[in-house]
C-alpha cells in the first residue's frame, strides 16, 4: 500500500533533448519544488527548473523520445514517469 503524500503533484510535459541526453525540465514554480524530495539522486535543481535525466534504457522501456508527452507524479512518495498515449478517435 502506498503511503500518503502531503502534497500530491501531477504534471504533464514534453521530453526534451539537450545534447545527446533526454530529460525533463520541470518548472519549480509550477509544482516542481514539491517533487525535489522524492528525486534524491536522480534529479537536480538547475536555475528555475528541476532537471531529471532519462537514461536510454528507461526511455526504451517507456517507449518515449524527444517531444513525447509524459506525466510525472509523486504518488507514494516516489517519483513516477508515465507516457501519455494519444488516443485516436475514428
Segment 29-43, tens digit of pLDDT: 888 888 888 888 888
Every domain of the chain and the residues it spans: 10-83
- Cell 508527452: give the residue: 69
The answer to whether the pTM exceeds 0.85 is: no
CB 28 within 8 A of CB 35: no
Average pLDDT for the chain:
87
Categorize the per-residue pLDDT at 89 as very low, low, confident or very high, splitting at 50, 70 and 90.
low
Q: SS3 of 30, please?
A: helix
- The answer to whether residue 2 scores a pLDDT higher than 60 is no
Element (H, E) at 60: helix 56-62
CA atoms of 11 and 13, how far apart (whole Å): 7
What are the residues facing 53 on neighbouring strands? 23
Task: Please give the pLDDT value at position 33.
Answer: 86
Amino acid at each position: 500500500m502506498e503511503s500518503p503524500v502531503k502534497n500530491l503533484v501531477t504534471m504533464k510535459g514534453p521530453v526534451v533533448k539537450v545534447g545527446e541526453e533526454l530529460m525533463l525540465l520541470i518548472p519549480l514554480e509550477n509544482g516542481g519544488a514539491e517533487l525535489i524530495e522524492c528525486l534524491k539522486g536522480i534529479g537536480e535543481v538547475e536555475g528555475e527548473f528541476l532537471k531529471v535525466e532519462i537514461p536510454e534504457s528507461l526511455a526504451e522501456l517507456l517507449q518515449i523520445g524527444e517531444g513525447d508527452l509524459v506525466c510525472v507524479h509523486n504518488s507514494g512518495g516516489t517519483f513516477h514517469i508515465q507516457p501519455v498515449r494519444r488516443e485516436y478517435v475514428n
